[in-house]
Amino acid sequence: KSSSSSSFSFQQHTVQSLKRRGFSIQSCFSVSYHKFVDFALDQTSLHTQLLPSPLQEKYNSINSNDGKGALSMLSFETDKIRLLRSLIIETETMQVLDFTVFPKAEYDVPIFCANFFTTAKTNIVVLDLNPLHDIINQNDYKEKYFKSLIPLGLKYAEHFPWGGKLTSESIKFFSPIVIWTRFTSSSQKYEVLYSAFRDYYKVWLELIDAAVKETDEYQIFRNLEAQHRYLTWRAEKDPGQGVLKKLTGDRLAKDLLRSFLFNGVDELGSKTFDDYFPHYHGEEGTLNKNGGNVGKSFENRPWDASGKFRGQ
Ligand code: BLA
């Protein structure tokens, strides 16, 4: 178990005293995401038995190609969870957490998703319970999982303003309580983020605890396909890909994406990216065949305070 908040202030203190003595410190803000993962693992084991994933043996820790960074990986499964996995990246200039939990296809519970990218100056954050099914049009699914969580979303929306335009397809993977934000690094924000992570993870654990195993073949298939579609999206479009490639090289980055981070993309279904996203033509505001905009959109939070989608 590593850093706690006390080692965090210790780092800040050390950096300040080094600066006073005239050292130039490139990364004067440094956080650790290990305690986030430790919290999640501890909480999960209060609810159920964590079993090591077969992936753990191959994916545990590696150094970046330049020898200056470390990638730490953990993976588990439980009776209801197909894969719980985390990747922490620590280099001289950034700290990254990619923590995602995929339920088994017999459960239509959302996918827990925490993606934090931190440098000395800035943070890019997504924290969400990613819905498995369409919640913009499919009201019953939204009501089932998110209606009671709207106040939690509102509590943190106050601290974390909407992060601005994002790839427009992403919004369909996000829930009404998504925390999508960018902020300037500070210890106070880091603490609020830790608190949000704990709250979101605790409510997610309650959802999966309460979930009843689906027996209808067709519903299980729908859940499985939704999981596969999600994996296909993320394995192909994750904005962290560039960073991973830089640190580990193209081949290892691709292996990490397809076999570890988004494990299942090559096994759980056979549809391709183009099958699932036929209108996706790239990043920048291209018009698709139907005239819809598939570039970057949603300058402002598209959900209102009651959890209704109001688009642009
Ligand atoms: C940027 N990361 C982003 C953005 C989003 C996400 C929405 C804004 C830019 C954009 O939409 O193009 C995250 N997008 C997600 C998530 C989902 C999604 C979680 O669709 C889930 C469905 N980010 C990481 C990791 C790294 C990382 C592991 O999660 C680094 C290893 C980096 N994310 C990163 C960087 C940017 C970014 C560098 C800025 C790059 C850019 O703006 O294009």
Closest listed residue to residue 273, CA positions, set 308, 311, 228, 241: 228
Per-residue model confidence (pLDDT) at position 25: 46
Q: pTM score, two decimals?
A: 0.90
Per-residue model confidence (pLDDT) at position 102: 98
Label residue 291 by pLDDT band (50, 70, 90). Answer: very low
271-294 in b/e form (b: 16+ CB < 10 A) is eeeeebbeebeeeeeeeeeeeeeb
Q: Using a 6 Å cutoff on CB, does residue 240 contact ligand 1?
A: yes
Measured in Å, residue 86 CA sits from the centre of ligand 1 at 16
Tell me which residue has its CA closest to atom 26 in ligand 1: 240
Q: What is the mean pLDDT of residues 16-27?
A: 51
Tell me which residue has its CA closest to atom 31 in ligand 1: 240
What residues pair up with 119 in beta bridges, in sequence order?
94
What whole-number percentage of the chain has pLDDT above 90?
79
Query: The dihedral of CA 154, 158, 164, 170: what is its sign?
Result: negative
Range in 147-151, 192-196, 282-286 the model is least confident about: 282-286
Q: How far is CA 215 from CA 3, 106, 107, 145, 219, in A?
A: 43, 7, 10, 19, 8
- Ligand 1 pocket test: which of 86, 102, 117 has the largest number of ligand atoms within 8 Å of its C-beta? 117
Tell me which residue has its CA closest to atom 37 in ligand 1: 239
- Ligand 1 pocket test: which of 238, 244, 280, 298 has the largest number of ligand atoms within 8 Å of its C-beta? 238
Per-residue model confidence (pLDDT) at position 3: 41
- d(CA 218, CA 215) in angstroms, rounded, equals 9
- d(CA 255, CA 193) in angstroms, rounded, equals 30
Tell me which residue has its CA closest to atom 40 in ligand 1: 239
DSSP state of 173: G
Q: Which residues contact 94 (CB under 8 A, 6 or more apart)?
A: 27, 117, 118, 119, 243
Measured in Å, residue 254 CA sits from the centre of ligand 1 at 16
Q: How far is CA 41 from CA 12, 83, 85, in A?
A: 27, 13, 10
Label residue 150 by pLDDT band (50, 70, 90). Answer: very high
Contact 199, 152 (CB under 8 A): yes
What whole-number percentage of the chain has pLDDT above 70?
86
Q: What is the mean pLDDT of residues 128-136?
A: 96
Per-residue model confidence (pLDDT) at position 7: 41
Q: Using a 6 Å cutoff on CB, does residue 170 contact ligand 1?
A: yes
Strand, helix or coil for residue 179: strand
DSSP state of 254: H
Tell me which residue has its CA closest to atom 2 in ligand 1: 239
Q: Using a 6 Å cutoff on CB, does residue 162 contact ligand 1?
A: no
Tell me which residue has its CA closest to atom 14 in ligand 1: 170
Per-residue model confidence (pLDDT) at position 27: 45
Measured in Å, residue 168 CA sits from the centre of ligand 1 at 12
Tell me which residue has its CA closest to atom 43 in ligand 1: 239
Query: What confidence tens digit (pLDDT) does each residue in 1-15 have?
Result: 344 444 444 455 555
Q: Using a 6 Å cutoff on CB, does residue 91 contact ligand 1?
A: no
Q: Answer whether residue 29 shows pLDDT above 80.
A: no
Q: Which residues contact 125 (CB under 8 A, 6 or more apart)?
A: 115, 116, 117, 160, 163, 179, 180, 181, 182, 183, 193
CA 214, distance to chain mean position in Å, is 25
Strand, helix or coil for residue 275: helix
Q: Using a 6 Å cutoff on CB, does residue 126 contact ligand 1?
A: yes
Contact 139, 118 (CB under 8 A): no
Q: Answer whether residue 26 shows pLDDT above 90.
A: no
Query: What confidence tens digit (pLDDT) does each residue in 108-120 have?
Result: 999 999 999 999 9
Query: What confidence tens digit (pLDDT) does each residue in 31-77 have?
Result: 899 999 999 999 999 999 999 999 999 999 999 999 999 999 999 99
Contact 50, 41 (CB under 8 A): yes
Give 54-79 as a DSSP string: TTTTTSSEEE-TTSS-EEEEEEEE-S
| Strands 70-77 vs 81-90: parallel, antiparallel or unpaired | antiparallel
Q: What is the mean pLDDT of residues 25-35?
A: 71
Q: Using a 6 Å cutoff on CB, does residue 8 contact ligand 1?
A: no
Tell me which residue has its CA closest to atom 41 in ligand 1: 239
Q: Using a 6 Å cutoff on CB, does residue 167 contact ligand 1?
A: yes
Contact 102, 51 (CB under 8 A): no
Closest listed residue to residue 150, CA positions, set 129, 177, 111: 177
189-191-194-196 Cα dihedral, nearest 10 degrees: -60
Structure tokens at 79: 């009776």
Label residue 294 by pLDDT band (50, 70, 90). Answer: low
Q: Using a 6 Å cutoff on CB, does residue 113 contact ligand 1?
A: yes
- d(CA 167, CA 299) in angstroms, rounded, equals 11
Q: What is the mean pLDDT of residues 85-102?
A: 97
